[in-house]
A and B are shown apart, each in its own frame.
Chain A
């Protein structure tokens, strides 16, 4: 089992749609959680950190469920510019510091 698992997609949605991405992680001792977006042939860029209380940044809402070891990202009112690969990222200190990347979920928003 992969340490961080994501549905690879692709998700094809029309502009204005709401889309949700899920991610699960296997290490219950993981400490911090993030969503990044990566555009084609570019470096990953931090989208937002993820907290158990949930956090929102404009059209983006992230949620962490530690009991289920599950992380989500909700995008409302999708824009064409949201088309990218979304990476779920988990930091842990088990046996030394590690950052584990999910394989990413591809999103295509079409007009």
Chain B
């Protein structure tokens, strides 16, 4: 099946640090990637939709200047959490859909997730 790789899998850093998370589709081209956040015992919450070659679409309540998304190629999207604070500590997961099929008809394939802990 489709493989999505996410890196790093775990980050611990001081408050005020900016953290970049990479999401790669390894065996298919992904025109669209999604970034989610999941707090403990809660459901995945979509943060933004990342489209290759254009600006990301952010969900209501998600600060685009704090969560910078870049999708410069069909296989890589990055999420940068700028000046991270303890309340940004969460599990961040990306997913991707295959460019060659109708996105609505296919399941999303998730990266391994990045556990971010801000001290």
Contact = CB atoms under 8 A, between A and B. Distances in A.
A: interface residue count bin: 20 to 34
Interface string B84-100: 00000001010100000
Contact of B107 (A41, A49, A92): A49
Nearest to A49: B107
- The A contact surface, by secondary structure, is strand
Contacts, number: 50
Interface in A11-56: 31-32, 34, 36, 41-46, 49
B43 A102 contact: yes
Nearest to B114: A43
A103 interface: yes
Contact of A43 (B42, B49, B107, B110): B110
A43 B111 contact: yes
A60 interface: no
- The B contact surface, by secondary structure, is mixed
B44 to A, nearest CB: 5
A89 interface: yes
B67 interface: no
A31 B107 CA distance: 11
B4 to A, nearest CB: 9
Nearest to A91: B104
A65 interface: no
A70 interface: no
